[in-house]
Each structure stands twice: as structure tokens, then as C-alpha cells.
Chain A
Amino acid sequence: MKMLESIYIMAYRQIKRFVRAKSRVAGVIINNILWLLFFGLGWAYTLRGQQFQVLFKGLDYLAFLLPATFATSIFQASFMGGISVIWDKQFGFLKEVLVAPAPRSLTILGRALGDSIVSLLNGLIMLAFGFALTSKLNPAGLPMALAIGFVMAVGFTSMGIAIASTMRSPEGFQLIVGTITMPMTLLSGAMFPLNMTPEWMQILALVSPLTYAVDLCRYFLTGVSFLNMVYPWLTQEVEALLLVVTSLALMVIAMRMFEKTTIE
């Protein structure tokens, strides 16, 4: 009971803070709309013809892109969420948490869960626009997509927290987030089909857990998996397993790293 308590209260705080920050909520929604409009619709019109549907295994570009954007937007929001650890360092709230008798590994877990829920909401908003823009998404796949979204959110929030635990300045963290987020998003197969890319790029993509998350979300929402077609051993079960394992590993790393944070 006591354990759940510490997890719950930190999750509560993260969510409460997010809901309070109206400008942040509005910013997320506006960002999503702009991305879908200018990037999504732009390419959807460019790749309108029948001949392109072959590239996307019968999907049109919007149906190809939207499930993946659900995953990448969760990825970006989760990873960036680690910055609140640095803000807490700067504004002093971290000391309040560190001096409390609640175990640090649990308070940080609660924090990761809270931020995960926030970024999942973020992804949901994106997906709501998706359902409005195309009729090709399968609502029955939604629960699985949400589950995948949550697992990856926990993993990437943990990654953000682990990195933030070692850093002092938000600028430094943003720099790191920027340099990691961009290649991972591009390599994830969210915007172009990975099976068309050179082999070395595919290998790089397979190293990143985001690639699996994108492929899984696309599979559950449209029924098409691009990885499975190239690598028959990469079934949905294997992909899900890889994702869960990496997320758990990242979570344990974040707990360890946070235990070691000092105020020195």
C-alpha cells in the first residue's frame, strides 16, 4: 500500500501540473494540427495516385502516416518530459522530494507514470485528428495501440529522466533531446516505408525501440506491418516483447540514476 502511495502521489502531481499549464496543453494541440495539416496533407496530396498505393501496401499516405504519428508524438512528448526533473532541480522542489522518506525509486516511478499518461493524452489528441482526417483507420485496434503507446511512453519518459538526472541546465538537455529525437523519428519508418531504404539504414532503425512501436501501432490501426514483410521473424509478438523489455530496462535505469542524484 505504502509503495503505491508514493507512486500515485507523484503521478498525481505531474498530471496536475500539466493540466494547470493551459498554454502547454494548447501548444500541444496546435502543434499537432499544424503537423498533420502541412506535413500530412501535403504528402497525402503529392502521393495521391494509384501507383503510390503499392508503396504503402494498399494504404493511402494519411493512413500510413497517422498511426505512426501517434507513436512519434508520444515519443517526443515522453522524452522531453524529463526536462521537468531539471526544472525541479532549479526551482528547488527536487530537494523536497529527495528529503522525503518515500523511496526515491518509487517517487521517480510515479513521476514517469504521470508523465507517460500526459504524453499518451498527447498522442490521443493526435489520433483523434487522425480519425477525423481519414476513414481508413480501424477503431477496433485502438486499445492495443493505446497499450503500445503507454509501454513506449514509460520507456521514453524513463530515458528522459535518466538523462536529466545527470544534467543541470534545461538548455543542455534540450540539445541532447534534439540530437536524439530527430534521427530516431526519421529512422522509425513513420514517414517513409523502411522496406525501401538501404540495408544499413534498416539495421540502424532496428536498433531503436521506436521503430517497433511505430510498426506495431500501424499494424493494429491499419492491419499492415512493414517490418514483418521484410523480416519474417519480426512478428507482432516479437516486436511487442522487444518493446516491453526495452521499456522495462529504461525504467530500471532511470530508477537507478535517480537514486544517485545529489544536490551537490
Chain B
Amino acid sequence: MEFDIVVENLVKRYGSVEAVRGISFQVRKGEIFGFLGPNGAGKTTTIHILSTLLKPTSGKALVAGYDVVSEPNMVRRNIGIVFQDPSLDDNLTGYENLYIHGRLYGLNGQGLRERIEEALKFVELWDFRDRLVRNYSGGMRRRLEIARAMLHTPRILFLDEPTIGLDPQTRVHIWDYIRKLNREYGTTVFLTTHYMDEAEMLCNRIAIIDHGKIIALGTAEELKSMVGSDIVYVKLAKPDPDICSKLSIAGVDSCKVVEGGTVALQVKKASEAIPAILLHLDRLEIRVTEVSYRRPSLNDVFIHLTGREIRDSEGSFIEVARMRHRARMR
């Protein structure tokens, strides 16, 4: 079989809220596939449907060749999952958490002990195996969750925001584990994230999801080529909502006003376009306080597609609130 996950026209409604609005995509065997999107885009909902925890309102999803609605048990046998929110038993040790998991997946005896040792060593937690999870740090918990998800050597691994709230060093560490898992065991990985760097560093292909819809899908390179070229940011002394109409000059492919009186201009080659733009603005007597440019990032792709930043102010507020919530639950 060529695809490990096939999704067709998937819809999920919670009452009147339509969290997932008809998405379709395929994940290839052995691929690291990413869902990139802002808070509330429908990433977790999709993962919960694919892992048989939620029933879709309509549409079809096959995981490892099995239908998530009619053959949930076969799907469950083939997947491992790291949830966005904590899901460990705090009152047990790291080892005991894995032991229970293993038995629930039909492993036992010497085989299980060896798997636990391998998984704990893989995430470098073997030395802490007898410590209560309650006394683990946030990064250690995340690593333990990864070890647990891989314990039964699932064919497909789901990771819902695997590095949310972790420090940069730990994030890099976890990226390494994910890559290693994919390389050494051939595990297909489906991950969600709202970190652009994470999607770019890890994923073979990325689907950008917003308001329950996939708005773009491809490799990071392919996505960036949608924006095409360099981006020039010009900060004006006085915000001007009509600035774009005044900037239709040769060399500027598109123009978008972003917050704080800054204009994002798409150009073929920034080094040549900047003098022309500045000269033009100078003629119009529009004062410029700052100019910068960069090669397009996934964030620019997102802005290009939606007109918003992927991490708008509301989004980061929600994230802070959630981190507090997680902290309180411990």
C-alpha cells in the first residue's frame, strides 16, 4: 500500500461549531507529514478523529488501510499517539507508565521489558525510570510520552504539538528523536504544530490548515514558491491604508499592509527592488522609517494565503492560557 493515511472530505461539527470543514489529503508510507496552523484551526480535532477518539460528522478516513469508524480496533493496533495535553499517570513511575501501556497493547514478559528499556534509552530517560512522573520536568514528560507512543512499535505515530511549551534545547532534542524514529523504524509520522520552524525542519510535506480547511499542501519549498520571491518590509512613518494603490510600480508583484503601518512587498530580487521602491516613495513624499527584507518563510506563505500572521496576538494569548492550565493540572 502506498498511503498510510487517506482522508476524504472529512467534516467535524461540535454543535454549531464546524471545527473541520471538509479536508482531504494523503500521507505516504514512511513520510513525516505536518499539519501547520494557528490555534483553533482544527488540528487536534483531526488527530482525534484519525486516532478513533472522535467520530467524524461526515467524510472518510483510512488509517493503515482501516476505516476509523467501522474498524477502530484495527486502527488502534497500528498507531501510537502523543496527545497535545498531558496524558501520563502522575502517580506512577516512568517505568510503570510504559509497563501498563505495553500490557494494554498485548506485550508482556521479557519482550516487554526489553522494549521498555529500549524506548526509555531512546529518549534518555532510562536513568529516571523509577522516579514518579509527578516529579518529572515538562520536557521529561514529553519524552516519556514519546517513548510510550513508540513502545509497541506502531506503524503510524501521531504527535499533537510535540514541543509545545518546551525550551529551545529540548525542542531540538525532540526533533532528533522524531527524525531518528522515522529513519530507524520507518515509522510514518503525522504531526501538528503551529511552529513554522518545526514544520520546516521536520516535515517532508506540510498541509497548512486554517479555520478547518487545508489552504495549501506541499513540501516547504513548494509552499514557499507560492510566494515566489523575496519579501521587502517597509515601515512608514505614518500608517497609510491606501499605500498599496500607490505602490503599483514595476518589480513589485504584490503588496499587503501588515500591522503597525508596515507594508510587505513581494519582489523578484530585493537588492534591486529596494532602491526603486524608496525612490518612488520619496517622490510621493511618503516618509519611511525602516526597511528590511528576507527570503520567504512559511509565515509569509500563511500571510500570503490568509492576510494574517500565523501567530496573531489572540493566538499567543490562548497559548499562554493553556500553558497555565497545563501547569495547574500538574
Contacts and interface: CB of A to CB of B under 8 A. Distances in A.
Interface of A: 2, 5-6, 8-9, 12-13, 16-17, 20-21, 90-93, 95-103, 107, 262-264
Given A17-B89, A20-B91, A90-B329, A99 B81 contact: yes
B48 interface: yes
16 contacts: A5-B106, A9-B100, A9-B104, A13-B92, A17-B91, A92-B83, A95-B53, A96-B148, A98-B53, A99-B51, A99-B76, A100-B76, A101-B77, A101-B106, A262-B54, A263-B48
A8 B108 CA distance: 12
B96 interface: yes
Given A13-B89, A90-B329, A99 B106 contact: no
Contacts of A90: 329
A49 to B, nearest CB: 50
Contacts of A102: 104-106
Nearest to B45: A264
Given A6-B103, A17-B89, 15 more contacts: A2-B106, A8-B103, A9-B104, A13-B92, A17-B92, A91-B87, A91-B329, A92-B85, A92-B87, A92-B329, A98-B53, A99-B79, A103-B73, A107-B104, A263-B48
Contacts of B91: 17, 20-21
Contact of A9 (B14, B54, B79, B103): B103
B327 to A, nearest CB: 13
B90 interface: yes
Contacts of B103: 5-6, 8-9
- In this complex, the interface size class of chain B, counting residues with CB under 8 Å from chain A, is 20 to 34
A91 B52 contact: no
B101 interface: yes
Interface string B52-80: 11110000000000000000010011010
Nearest to B134: A20
A5 to B, nearest CB: 6
Contacts of A101: 73, 76-77, 104-106
B86 A16 contact: no
Nearest to A17: B91
B105 A93 contact: no
A95 B14 contact: no
B273 interface: no
A106 to B, nearest CB: 10
B88 interface: yes
Contacts of A99: 51-53, 76, 79, 81
A158 B4 CA distance: 39
Given A12-B100, A13-B100, A93 B106 contact: no
Contacts of A6: 103-104
A88 B105 CA distance: 19
Contact of B101 (A5, A96, A107, A263): A96
Contacts of B85: 92
A99 B92 CA distance: 19
